[in-house]
Amino acid sequence: MTHFASRIIEHYEKHATAWDNDRQTSGCNDQVWHDRFIDSLSTGASVLDLGCGSGRPVAQHLHERGLKVTGVDASPTMISLCRSRLPDHQWMVADMRRLSLKDRFDGILAWDSFFHLDPGDQRRMFAVFSEHSSDRAVLMFNTGPEHGEAIGSYRGDPLYHASLAPSEYLALIDGIGFEVIGHAINDVRAGGRTVWLCRRR
């Protein structure tokens, strides 16, 4: 199944415009967690948004709450939309798995993006999180509720998702010096998402 994971970048570039339209009309049922993330940071804090998509609604909300966003997405079309909508922030076309910016951020967000990586890439992402985290940084990402892989569908194309076991996420979080400060499994307030909110010790 992991060969579907290698098609994620191609998938989102192909469907960028349609995905953007769908995201704007589907409502922001995940804002409860975005607000918890934001409330864990100080005004003007820097946030690295990994898999930022088109910038709306998530980065737009971060902007409205006074945060400084650096957005990363592998889709050039998505980043073009971000630059047109939020020109005062920094945007770059890059693969989050290979990111090395030589900069550290107060917050790191990997929302509705991290779970498209295969298990091996998910494990390796924790080194990326650590490399880009300032002291006492806040990290938030979402996953599946249990270990496994699944193939969904978007506009007729297969869409890959994967998750590690919760116990492994806990070990990986601890291994980079973070602790969990908020967690929910299949949170009905957030569209059934499983969420990890963490802070560097």
CATH number of the domain encompassing residue 11: 3.40.50.150
Count of the separate structural domains present in the chain: 1
How would residue 6 be classed by pLDDT, with cut points 50, 70 and 90?
confident
| pTM attached to this predicted model | 0.96
C-beta of residue 159 within 8 angstroms of C-beta of residue 11 = yes
CA-angle at 168, arms to 36 and 172, nearest 5°: 65
110-126 pLDDT tens trace: 999 999 999 999 999 99
